[in-house]
Structure 1
Amino acid sequence: MFDFPVQHAEASFAPDAANLRSTMLSNAIFDPAVRPNKTVLVVAGFSLLTINSVDNLQHSLTVTGWFTLVSLGFYSIYNLQLADIGVINDDNLQLTVTHTGDVLWEPPGLYTTHCEIDVTYYPFDRQKCIIELTSWSMTKDQLELDLASDDIDTEDLRTNGEWIIVSTSVKDRYLLDTKPDGTVVTSSQLDFILVLERRPAFYAINFIVPIILSSFLSCVVFLVPIQAGEKVSYILTMILAIAVLLTLIADSLQHTSLTASVLGNNVVLCALITVLLLNIFHNKEKVGPTSSFYKLTTVVATIIRFQGRKRISKKGKGNAGNKVCPNGTLPLKNLNNEVEQYDELDGQPIEMSISVDNGGKQVYTWAELANIWDRFCFWVFIIFTSVCTLSFLVALAVGGRKDFAST
């Protein structure tokens, strides 16, 4: 023989259901064919199961969940049998009617709603999406919606790989609709608000890091020796690589944009300067030491401490063939016993000469002017790229967090 403890529980039995049907349907108290003249109060809540997708292109949010609608009072049976509340209705869904006359309706579904996407701080952005629950045909005098909770129920929420929920809230308000005759119809509405934050790890690995590397590699074009003849091909390769990256990013964003890519402008500017430096390098004319460009170049050379090309030679007829390069090899004989120059980096002889003016000041050739500006542009673009990259990353991270801080 077993002894089980019994706790008090409130329940409804067959006699209660029979009394309810007898009171509401058999007697003249309630006619299901006539809408009640009292305002029906419906308490609504939403339980979120999964975040299916947030479409940047279509500006839409798709979630899976269910609404919990409780209509209070005896007259609610009529209302929920014919009501048009909800995002999706299913005639096959069963209603639960308690012995007190309250009606419980929990319609599950896959809900797709409009969500305005702001990609200003992409991919460190936050989005605010709203699921609106209202009645299309009943005014607030016929149907009043009240919130069951101040938040969305996320107890059964499944983890999403792209988005995390920062906060949820529920607000009630009235929807105003002006008819053609000027009549204003007021309906009750509930807004279920989701604040979502994008997980940036995927975008950082696949987009941000490659773009930053490409940006810095585009500055390396100024370190490629002009004599090698690979400067233009190198920068064109970088333009192609960055164009592919920007295309991949554009495919994941909306196709309307009012801003140009700073990275793309930077690479194009590098290409234009590269072509300009090549033209300067291959210029065979003499540059006057009194020109403004020459004076500016002299200042730049002082800033970057450009040493120019070192001349290593021994003069004299007997020593014409004994000139030694910095790398220890013997160059070809200079029959005219002229001064030969060697690159201070690779030790290779180059066809240029360094002369001095009457005041004893060194006069740069066009090739050296090109090398000076090459070195100068490298440091300028490296500093510019570093500052811009750091500024943009900080702005994205901080700005994306501030958007809905007060929500």
Structure 2
Amino acid sequence: MELSWTVAVLVMFTCVIGRTTGIDLQRSLYNHLFDKYNKALRPSSTPNSTLIVEIGVELTHLIDMNEKHQTLTANLWLTMGWNDSYLRWNDSEWRGVTELTVPDSYVWKPDIVLYENVDQYFKGWSKSETYVKLHHNGYVLWEIPTVTLSSCQVNVSSFPFDRQKCPLKFGPWIHSSYEVEMRSMAGEGSLTSFMINAEWHVLSFTAQTHIKSYGEAFDIGTPYSDVTFVLEFQRKSTFYVFNLLLPCLLLTFLMSTMFYLPLETGEKLSFGVSILLAIVVFQLVLNEVLPESEDLPWIGRYVILAMIMMSVSLSLSVMVMNVCDCSITVRPMPEWARRLFLKVLAQLLFMGDMSNGRPTTLQTDETETFQMDLNIERSTTPLDPHDQSEYQIGTEILASNLRKIERKHSFLISYMKEMDRKEEVRKEWRALAKVLDRLFFFIYILTATVCLVVFVATL
């Protein structure tokens, strides 16, 4: 029992001594490396040698794509590595220690910036202190998570079926390519940890290395190296199809039903104006979403064209109502109009022959009058003179009343004939209104369909 306790104490003592020795070893290595280290100097082997900086980018989350301000907000994991000739040691001399982790503020770091950065509050890649990992061969590895706000030129000509390309150019701001050369750790950016975005589908994340010359005040044409990661993504259009495109199409074709409303209903114009106001609301919604650019998307052009067609349709309806309004005066339809619209055009529009002959005009001749023969048979027996006088007076009164009845009857017959004639004329004008509405209906449907097909074909 005493022996086992002795062994346990020895083991614990050995572990404590080993741990203490390891801590002291790292402290000694740190003092050895940073005793005369100056992080302000570029850690190259010779003053004229080029320091190679490798960079890798992993996209984890596409936070926001603001088309209005043409900016991209993304969550990135940046990895940068370079060789520091002042931070090398022989691992065999330090009991096999091959790595050492220190705060990033202790070592020299390349002045890598994002060229498309538009974040006015940007003060560095990390808002808190990060660490770098030092390898015995002098390789320094710096891994930092960051959220970037970069500019991205948006092309919305195919909205909501558009594809966008946003470059993320990383490179030094002060050091030229003679001093610092950028290289990509891989042929493309990583999407391993990417979280699925509800609005965008990432297609590719390629990496390209460039050396480009920029003019400066005192040194014209100095080349600078950079690595550009091009993020290509496509919009998921389902949301916009059901919430923006489909209602717009429904309103466009709903406008065509206005031509089927009869002239007698007073809701024809108010119905068309209501639909026109609804399509104007869609235009305002598009203006809030899309950037201010001359490159108008096809859906915006279609909405504008729909507004124009609706305005023209309302104007045509007003014209039809003005031409075919018979409430004040009744004008006979010209013969050419009857043949062209009610016969030829009506048959072409599958409405049949609607001419039905020309209505007769009202004749001013007097109607048939009652012919009344008052054959008063005189009695063979002579009447009394007094009785004969009373009989003549009664006969004259009866004849006068009959003539009044005859005039009233003639007036009623003339009035009824005039009403029938006016009703026939009104029927002709109503028929003309139906023919014109059917004609404008086909023109509107054909124009809307052709425009829709053309816009879809240009996607």
- Contact kept? 1:285, 1:366, Cα under 8 Å: no
* 1:278 aligned residue: 321
* 2:445 aligned residue: 382
* 1:359 aligned residue: none
Structure 2 counterpart of 1:140, one-letter code: S
- Contact kept? 2:163, 2:232, Cα under 8 Å: yes
CA shift in 2, pair 1:69/1:305, >3 Å: same
* 2:350 aligned residue: 305
Counterpart check, 1:121 vs 2:148: no
Deviation string 1:8-54 (CA, Å, 9 cap, x unpaired) is: xxxxx889968976875568xx7655433221111111011100000
- Contact kept? 2:341, 2:432, Cα under 8 Å: no
- Contact kept? 2:331, 2:425, Cα under 8 Å: no
* 1:145 aligned residue: 182
- Contact kept? 2:39, 2:106, Cα under 8 Å: no
Deviation at 1:264, TM superposition (A): 1.4
Q: Which moved more, 1:47-56 or 1:259-268?
A: 259-268
CA shift in 2, pair 1:75/1:187, >3 Å: farther
Q: Which moved more, 1:68-77 or 1:52-61?
A: 68-77
Deviation at 1:151, TM superposition (A): 1.3
Deviation at 1:81, TM superposition (A): 1.8
CA shift in 2, pair 1:353/1:220, >3 Å: same
Gaps of 5+ in 1: 1-12, 312-332, 342-349, 355-363, 400-407
* 2:261 aligned residue: 224
Give me the identity figure in percent: 22
Secondary structure of the 1:149 match is coil
Secondary structure of the 1:352 match is helix
* 1:323 aligned residue: none
Deviation at 1:185, TM superposition (A): 1.8
Written as runs of structure 1 = structure 2, the 5 A alignment for 1:44-59 is: 44-59=55-70
Deviation at 1:286, TM superposition (A): 3.3
Secondary structure of the 1:383 match is helix
Deviation at 1:73, TM superposition (A): 4.9
Structure 1 counterpart of 2:111, one-letter code: D
Counterpart check, 1:392 vs 2:455: yes
Partners of 2:252 and 2:87 lie apart in 1 by 65
TM-score, length basis structure 1: 0.75
Q: Which moved more, 1:126-135 or 1:77-86?
A: 77-86
Structure 1 counterpart of 2:73, one-letter code: T
* 2:170 aligned residue: 133
TM-score, length basis structure 2: 0.67
Partners of 2:289 and 2:142 lie apart in 1 by 38
Structure 2 counterpart of 1:62, one-letter code: T
Partners of 1:151 and 1:53 lie apart in 2 by 22
Secondary structure of the 2:68 match is coil
- Contact kept? 2:39, 2:108, Cα under 8 Å: no
* 1:196 aligned residue: 233
Deviation string 1:164-186 (CA, Å, 9 cap, x unpaired) is: 10112000112322123461221
Deviation at 1:306, TM superposition (A): 2.7
Partners of 1:305 and 1:252 lie apart in 2 by 45
CA shift in 2, pair 1:162/1:232, >3 Å: same
Partners of 2:451 and 2:38 lie apart in 1 by 72
Counterpart check, 1:262 vs 2:300: no
Deviation at 1:204, TM superposition (A): 0.8
Deviation at 1:262, TM superposition (A): 1.6
Deviation at 1:394, TM superposition (A): 4.4
Given candidates 201, 209, 212, the residue that maps to 2:249 is 212
- Contact kept? 2:57, 2:76, Cα under 8 Å: yes
Deviation at 1:258, TM superposition (A): 5.9
CA shift in 2, pair 1:278/1:16, >3 Å: farther
- Contact kept? 2:343, 2:355, Cα under 8 Å: no
Partners of 1:122 and 1:39 lie apart in 2 by 46
Deviation at 1:365, TM superposition (A): 3.9
Written as runs of structure 1 = structure 2, the 5 A alignment for 1:70-109 is: 70-74=81-85, 81-87=108-114, 88-90=124-126, 92-109=129-146
Partners of 1:100 and 1:17 lie apart in 2 by 16
- Contact kept? 2:133, 2:140, Cα under 8 Å: yes
Partners of 2:195 and 2:70 lie apart in 1 by 22
Secondary structure of the 1:264 match is helix
- Contact kept? 2:157, 2:295, Cα under 8 Å: no
CA shift in 2, pair 1:334/1:170, >3 Å: farther
Deviation at 1:63, TM superposition (A): 0.2
Secondary structure of the 1:228 match is coil
Written as runs of structure 1 = structure 2, the 5 A alignment for 1:29-68 is: 32=39, 34-35=41-42, 36=44, 37=47, 38-68=49-79
CA shift in 2, pair 1:203/1:69, >3 Å: same
Partners of 1:52 and 1:267 lie apart in 2 by 39
Deviation at 1:227, TM superposition (A): 1.8
* 1:288 aligned residue: 334
Deviation at 1:79, TM superposition (A): 11
Q: Which moved more, 1:68-77 or 1:117-126?
A: 68-77
* 1:373 aligned residue: 436
* 1:336 aligned residue: 416
Partners of 2:253 and 2:35 lie apart in 1 by 83
Partners of 1:252 and 1:245 lie apart in 2 by 11
Structure 2 counterpart of 1:233, one-letter code: S
Gaps of 5+ in 2: 1-21, 89-104, 115-123, 358-412
Deviation at 1:270, TM superposition (A): 1.2
Deviation at 1:381, TM superposition (A): 1.4
- By percentage of residues, which structure has more helix? 2
Structure 1 counterpart of 2:424, one-letter code: M
Q: Which moved more, 1:71-80 or 1:232-241?
A: 71-80
Deviation string 1:222-262 (CA, Å, 9 cap, x unpaired) is: 01111222211110011111111221222111133465512
Partners of 1:76 and 1:139 lie apart in 2 by 23
Q: Which moved more, 1:14-23 or 1:160-169?
A: 14-23
